[in-house]
Structure 1
């Protein structure tokens, strides 16, 4: 049994929820448990009755969060009711577990709730900026006052990228010593290898057809219009399909319907896998991709892009958020300025015109960058620094 500090991690999304935010929350919980911390996770869900609390022991959580205890709390119809009830539940859990640190995974609402409860309980807190949470709250109709209050009150600030750390420092007007916790990729699962011809056939990829890949939940912030226009542009010169490794957010279906009406032949070459729970299945699909696309409008450090790089895929991405911290354009991938994403299609065509040897060299350099900077040991070292700063006796 772990004998280290008791930590409560509050996460808005957590497996079995989809997306990079859920996966990174599970990975953080599991990594803290491997540092001998006693980790509880509280997450919200609409799959339980409002106000219902369900606790799962360490053997029932996602493999990446192994060692943590998961508490799922049913949401009410109104956010304020849900948050007030959450405080009551946190108080109950704290009375049973006596936490030494509260960790908010994403700035709002988890970060705000973590700082609020920690302040009431008289214990340290840390909040982790993960993606566009800073940008969303900075501008109307975002709640700038709540964002600033959260950043000011947290004991330690962490971020998924240096870019997010710089934004938080700017908002505070001083350097709080933001800890950048790099996303970690399991390079034993996400590795280079030959494409599976049986999988190509099962997905309906046609012989000789190039595969443009995207992984995760397809939604507006990931650059949906630019992905679709790039597919059309590439298909004017080469047979190609767009492989979406994951799902399309429901609100984007209208966008796809409009594209289908205007470009029916191109839309017919959009292949959506649906939900894939096993990382090895995601990796097998990534290995089918000739080019991986990440045209994010806003982002932190996208897990899916790092996984594609670990599979030695050639990545064409925007320069949003922390993406340039992973990609050196022309060396281990290619960047398109986020203000010029209408040129994404031409960038892909240019990449496809490179020799196979050149593309292989770029893919190998992408894999090397993941092995150098985005491994579990780098994440664990950053997490330990957070524990040392918030609970000084945690490392003794």
Structure 2
């Protein structure tokens, strides 16, 4: 590895649903990653430098929205490039990075381009309120390099003023040397991994699962994830009489989540578009399932069709259609040719989404940002 380094910035590293950020950083070959975080967090794989532990006064100012207060922290990090994950982080560090003449790369992952300004303001979160003001300023900055994890997100970013020609589309990768296919279990088990929010479509899945169970009585469903709709969804499950065959496990560490995918025959991602603009930017968990040799049944929405080709390496259905989703799930659990679809899914991940390949593409963007 060369002497070059990159500061990989996220307000809070290590979120259970964002392991791919650290995974990508660890796959770099030419840039040494330095993980930078606003909040005090721990990682079993990396050392993380945080504002709060190193610069408590700076941290307070930063949380109040004084972006210039991070300048000292960035200077002490001694990196050659700053890579902010999500537009919110990019907007916060942009001026401080420019003041230090530190090249800035921003990866857009989803809500940072999908949510409307009004939805950002309605969130009540100071960071999102500020971002609703700063987003167009960030996107108009010609000195910032942008990455989007899907073509869909790149096109949506254009609606907020970001020139598509300035965006490199680089999906997040999967470590295929770690996630390898395992034997399919005999039990007809479905797994759904998602934060329990409206656009993930979990309510549609429960309605579809009720139909599936009428045809495959031994089928079970594991739901891994937590969120504000959990109580409502558990009540919906009870109302359908599914409480003995649907299990809500809550948010789990990544390794345990992978274990649930391995114990299932099918992963379901029934995402949908919602009023505030939210939908699936890419569908990272579908890549993990495909790498493990599991068939994915998903909605044809957002960036998902860039991962799954219907009938070739997975199954896609119209969003919000419980009937179509149920038919696809029955076919995935009990149909012919399913193993071949799953094998094609694994090959696609190996060829197009391996983390080492994707990390090398990101490093090329760092070179461009540095003018190399």
Q: TM-score normalised to the size of structure 2?
A: 0.84
1:323 to 304, 314, 318: 304
Per the alignment, in what secondary structure is the counterpart of residue 61 of structure 1?
coil
The aligned counterpart of 2:125 is: none
Task: Give 3-state SS (helix, strand or coil) of 1:103's partner.
Answer: strand
Q: Deviations over 1:235-259 (max 9, x none)?
A: 1111211112x3322x122212421
Are residues 1:224 and 2:206 paired?
no
Which of 56, 77, 81 lines up with 1:97 in the alignment?
A: 77
Q: Do the aligned residues in 1 keep the contact of 2:2 with 2:30 (CA within 8 Å)?
A: no
3-state SS of 2:179 partner: coil
Q: Do residues 42 (structure 1) and 17 (structure 2) align?
A: no
Choose which of 170, 184, 191 in structure 2 pairs with 1:213.
Answer: 191
What does residue 22 of structure 2 align with? 26
> Residue 38 of structure 1: CA displacement?
4.8
- Aligned partner of 1:303 in structure 2 is 284
More displaced stretch, 381-390 vs 269-278: 269-278
Deviations 1:183-221 (A, max 9, x none): 21122332222257xxxxxxxxxxx75211112433322
Q: Which runs of 5+ in 2 are unaligned?
A: 122-130, 273-278
Among 129, 146, 152, the alignment partner of 1:157 is 146
Q: Is the 2:171–2:358 Cα contact (8 Å) retained in structure 1? A: yes
Give the C-alpha shift of residue 28 in structure 1. 3.2
What runs of 5+ residues in structure 1 fail to find an aligned partner?
46-53, 55-59, 197-207
Q: Tell me the equivalent position of 1:270.
A: 246
Count of aligned pairs: 352
Q: Which has the larger displacement, 79-88 or 221-230?
A: 79-88
Inter-partner Cα distance in structure 2 for 1:38 and 1:362:
36
For 1:6 and 1:178, the matched residues in 2 are separated by 22
The answer to which of 187-196 and 229-238 deviates more is 187-196
2-structure distance, mates of 1:360, 1:129: 34
**Equivalent of 1:291 in 266, 283, 289:** 266
Q: Secondary structure at the match of 1:73?
A: helix
Task: Say whether the 8 Å CA contact 1:189–1:283 is kept in structure 2.
Answer: no
**Which residue, 288, 298, 316 being the options, matches 1:335?**
316
Sort the Cα spacing of 1:296 and 1:139 in 2 relative to 1 into closer, same or farther, 3 A.
farther
1:107 has 2:87 as partner = yes
User: Is contact 1:180–1:382 with CA below 8 Å preserved after alignment?
Assistant: no
The whole-number CA distance in structure 2 between the counterparts of 1:253 and 1:300 is 22
1:113-128 equivalence runs, <5 A? 113-128=92-107
User: Could you say which residue in structure 2 is the equivalent of 1:349?
Assistant: 330
* Cα distance in structure 2, aligned partners of 1:168 and 1:124: 21
Partner of residue 256, structure 1: 233
CA contact (8 A) 1:169 1:176 kept: no
Distance 2:39 2:108 in 1: 18
Preserved CA contact (<8 Å) 1:222 1:296: yes
| Whole-angstrom distance in 1 between the partners of 2:75 and 2:12 | 24
Cα 1:113–1:173 shift into 2, 3 Å:
closer
**Which residue is 1:168 aligned to?**
157
Q: What does residue 377 of structure 1 align with? A: 356
The question of whether the paired residues in 1 share the 8 Å contact of 2:139 and 2:162 is answered with no
Change (3 A) 1:87 1:343: farther
* Residue aligned with 1:14, SS: coil
Map of 1:146 onto structure 2: 134
> TM-score, normalized by length of structure 1?
0.79
The aligned counterpart of 2:213 is 235
How far apart are residue 11 of structure 1 and its match? 0.8
Matched residue, 2:179: 190
